[in-house]
Every structure is written in C-alpha cells, then in structure tokens.
Amino acid sequence: MKKLLLAVIVLLGGGLAVWEKPQETAAIVAEVQKPEVGFAAPHFTLTGLDQQTYKVEGKRAKPLVLNFWASWCGPCKLEAPDLQKVYEKYGGQVDLYGVNVTSNDSPEAAMAFVTNYKLTFPIPMDVAGTVSNRYKVMAFPTTYLIDADGIVRKKIIGMVDAPTLELELRQLLSPKP
C-alpha cells in the first residue's frame, strides 16, 4: 500500500511539473544550446591549425558549415575535396570550419591531411574532444549547418557530396518568409 501511495505521489508530482511548465516559445528554445535542429548551436572557442581563434557563440555575420572530421576517416577523405569546392564557391557567403577531432587523431596527421587535400578553410583543433562531445558527434564526418542567428538548421551524419551541400546551403541562404 505504501509503495502504491508513493507511486501515485511521484506520478502526480511529475504530472504537475509538466502541467505547470510554461509553453516553450521559439525564442526560449533558441536560447537553449543543443546540437539539434531548431536550437542554438552549442558555444565554443577553439584554436586552429593556423593559431587563430575560432568561435561559435550565437549570432554571427554569416551562416556556418561546421564539419567534424578525423584524418584516418575514409568518408572524410572522400568528402574533403567537395568541402574545399563548396568553400571556394560560397566562402564569401558562409563560414566553413573543419573541426579536427584531435582527441581521436593527432595534430601531425591533421596537418598532413590538410596539406594533402589542399584545404584552405579554417581547421579548429578539438584537442580535448570537448566540442565534439558537446555536439554529440558519434560518427565521422558529421556536419552541422548553423544559420546567422546561431540556430542549428541541419545535422548531416556521414559524408555529404558537393551537390547536396550546395542545395542545403542555398536553402540556408534563402531569405526567410
């Protein structure tokens, strides 16, 4: 009987908490940092291979393509030339960060990869793996499209080719109704 009474109290307490919770608006959701579509992209600051500082922290001048990769990843090797082509074509309209998950790689291997594929976009180094953990990266490559308001608009797990990425970028860059 005591267990039943406790279960009823727990259920009612939880039910009341949900019932009393205010309806989330788009503005409130946008303030919550989650690596999910419709939420603010988790903030971070990383140092790149070029020793520059790269940040994601809310609104930005241009949308961002955020690609997580490792030098030993076969699909990353296939995707790298397409990312470079897209960067060359859209670099004036979007930022592209190729985040090397150095906690699963090495700076030397990352540098060799960048040199081999002649990548010219910024390569922030996630040495401790904290950013990839925050973005819940479970597979390489993983790409996030983040709008100029800092909101995640698309998550792509696995390799993305240039035509598909261009289609997604055109949608990201199109004026909102």
pLDDT tens readout for residues 133-173: 999 999 999 999 999 999 999 999 999 999 999 999 999 99
pLDDT, greater one: 112 or 32: 112
Of 44, 95, 93, 33, nearest in space to 67 by CA = 95
pLDDT exceeds cutoff 50 at 70:
yes
Torsion of CA 126, 129, 133, 135, to 10 degrees: 10
Domain boundaries, the chain: 26-173
pLDDT, greater one: 1 or 107: 107
pLDDT at 86: 96
Mean model confidence pLDDT for the chain? 86
CATH architecture of the domain formed by 26-173: 3-Layer(aba) Sandwich (3.40)
